[in-house]
Structure 1
Amino acid sequence: MSPRTTVLAVLAAGSLGLAACSSGAAGGTDTTEADSANCPGDVLDVVVSVDQWGDVVRSLAGDCANVTTVINSTAVDPHDYEPSTGDVAGFEDADLVVVNGADYDHWASDAVANLDPAPVVVDAAEVVGIEEEGHAEDDGHAEGEEGHGSVNPHLWYSPDYVQQTAEAVTDALSDLSPDAADYFAEQATAWTTSMQPYTDELAGLEQLAAGKSYAATETVFDYTATAVGLTDATPEGYRDAASNESDPAAGDVAAFEAALADGSIDVLVFNSQTEGAVPDQLRAAAESAGVPVVEVTESVPEDAGSFEEWQLAQLQQLADALGGGR
């Protein structure tokens, strides 16, 4: 069956359904309690909007903070989440709030903005130089900027952005509990050490990725792909539609399938948390063409372990797909 025939068959079956994530009724809020006996300063109350940053913040805060992650479930779409009265109360009581920003978790930013007095806020997008409206500061071209003018909000997939945000969190914790500043510095060092396998895998991937291309069913993994030097071969029309969470045109899907078939794409990055006929169709096309498929997730799966373990497992998949099998 030709690519165009395949696309038309799917169109006839119904909407292409490019949903970025599943939605749910509850955020699966998780709280990690501090151990005041091991904290040399004031114990802080910290609220993190989404689980992509939750483990990082918990590691940096250690025994000196009660850390609550509002969305701690893969069944919830952060874009559409409506905070409960309990969530709002948590923001009111927080000493520090950590949000992703870039309009990814606007409900958290909005909730904090309405508080008086407001807690200290670490907004990852602001930390790395991306404005809330989704446009980069300075020259208007932030790392990972989308072709249609918006910025990719999946900041936790950028190694540099993760490091910069972690440093900002440590600084905020230290300012709020000065007597524990040395403790927080030790926690930051320990966290950096725990991230070394991730850092080493990234360095190895730079060699494997040289001259190689990828295409993605969504832009979730793009920051990492850019960091290791992969060339983005995702057809532009499809990429724009995926970035806007809209249905791609039949011609854009056909172009994607053709690129998979003719060898233009070395690896397909597939967001396994996406529900929809088109991503599945593209995966099938990749498998038919012998193009390796690397599965990634937008949020942290329940069995993924730490942030480092989650990210490392995906990097190792990519290394294997690029011919660096163990």
Structure 2
Amino acid sequence: MHRMERHVSHTNKRVGTTQVARSYVSRWLALLAALCMLAPLGGCGFFTSDTKDTPSPVQSASTGPVSIVATLNQWGSLAERIGGDDVKVTSILSSTNVDAHDFEPTSKDLNQLSKANVVLVNGAGYDNWATKWIPSNASTISAAETVGAIDGDNPHLWFSNEARSSVARELFDTLCRLRPKDKSNFEKNYDAWKTSEKKLENTMKTFRKEHSDLTYAATETIAAYLMSDMGFKDETPKGYLQAVQNDSEPAPSDLKSFQTLLKDREVKLLVINPQQESSTTDQIVDAASTGSDPIPVLKVTEQMPQDQKDLTGWISSLVKQTNDLINSEEDAE
């Protein structure tokens, strides 16, 4: 990972007398000493953004558990899997009752970030609120950067097998660098995680083989990566999808196209985000539910539900739900 570092340039000036030079140096030494007393980070380090309300120092990663702060609980759970007993993970967003797009960190959240040895963010514009508070001497892992995603791309990267694997590898490499003496523990944890993720991959592969012509529509793009990994084709009307991506209300004609798509049973599954329900999504769900042959509805939240303790386990449960819904839909045909 590459990290921007703050560089301070110094200008040397020639003075006319030895006395003036000594006075000049003394003043700067006094100022430097004062700054070090006020600096929030050990070794006179500074935050990457300017702030006067500075939190407490970052603890060394050489002793005690490595402190990891994740912006999202799904990524935090992955950090716990890789780090095991050698890490202490704090997840800032950990409730399905919170809208991640409108989230504002509290002073407690910022204080937790200030003490992190490792900060794990999603990136791709999803959690920009965190980046300006990352300590300058903390290691930063961005899920988006591991797969080349940028602002404007679908930010729901935790639903992607590629992103999960890339972040897990980055966590393993970072922890081994920070705590080489515990490398064998990290290797054991990483191998165990890869086994469970491989099992999930195989389950999705079997699902793709057993079902053909898989189609779905969604009220938003939250599960697009998951649906793609499972072999589904997105048939959401383009006009509606564009409106959602622009955070605007769909035009009446686009909503009607969506409703017609569902009433004519042109897709096998509808995906909704219960965290973003509205009168528009209610109309869409109603269209899927009408008639004697309703389209099954899969509810997918942005944050990992509290009854799920592990990212791979959560994705596995969604795959199982999807499989059950599709099987029941096909049995009814």
Classify the TM-score, shorter chain: 0.7 to 0.9
Is the partner of 2:70 in helix, strand or coil?
A: strand
- Map of 1:92 onto structure 2: 114
Amino acid of the structure 2 residue aligned with 1:68: T
Amino acid of the structure 2 residue aligned with 1:86: K
Unaligned ranges ≥5, structure 2:
1-61
Pair 125,233 (structure 1): closer, same or farther in 2 beyond 3 Å: same
- Map of 1:52 onto structure 2: 74
**Residue 329 of structure 2 is aligned to residue 318 of structure 1:** no
Shift of 1:197: 4.2
**Residue 300 of structure 2 is aligned to residue 296 of structure 1:** yes
Mapped partners of 1:191, 1:180: distance in 2: 17
- Map of 2:286 onto structure 1: 284
Q: Percent identity?
A: 33
Paired residues of 1:269 and 1:296 also in contact (CA < 8 A) = yes
Structure having greater relative contact order (Cα 8 Å, sep ≥ 6): 1
Is the partner of 1:322 in helix, strand or coil?
A: helix
User: Which of 223, 226, 235 is 1:224 aligned to?
Assistant: 226
Paired residues of 1:197 and 1:312 also in contact (CA < 8 A) = no
- Map of 2:139 onto structure 1: 120
Is the partner of 1:79 in helix, strand or coil?
A: helix
**Residue 127 of structure 2 is aligned to residue 101 of structure 1:** no
Paired residues of 2:144 and 2:157 also in contact (CA < 8 A) = yes
More helix as a share of residues = 2
Paired residues of 2:69 and 2:120 also in contact (CA < 8 A) = yes
Is the partner of 1:297 in helix, strand or coil?
A: coil
Report which of the two structures shows the higher radius of gyration computed on alpha carbons: 2
User: Which of 148, 151, 160 is 1:129 aligned to?
Assistant: 148
User: Which of 93, 97, 100 is 1:75 aligned to?
Assistant: 97
Shift of 1:110: 2.0
Mapped partners of 1:295, 1:74: distance in 2: 12
Shift of 1:209: 4.4
The aligned runs of 1:99-248 (5 Å cut-off) are 99-112=121-134, 115=135, 117-131=136-150, 134=151, 150-248=152-250
Is the partner of 2:275 in helix, strand or coil?
A: coil
Shift of 1:186: 0.7
Mapped partners of 1:154, 1:297: distance in 2: 11
In the TM superposition, what whole-angstrom CA distance separates every residue of 1:83-142 from its partner, at most 9, and x where no partner exists? 222222222221111000001011111211xx3x331000000011113xx2xxxxxxxx
Mapped partners of 1:88, 1:164: distance in 2: 26
Paired residues of 1:273 and 1:297 also in contact (CA < 8 A) = yes
TM-score (norm 1): 0.77
Paired residues of 1:61 and 1:184 also in contact (CA < 8 A) = yes
Paired residues of 1:209 and 1:230 also in contact (CA < 8 A) = no
Is the partner of 1:219 in helix, strand or coil?
A: coil
Is the partner of 1:167 in helix, strand or coil?
A: helix
Shift of 1:218: 1.1
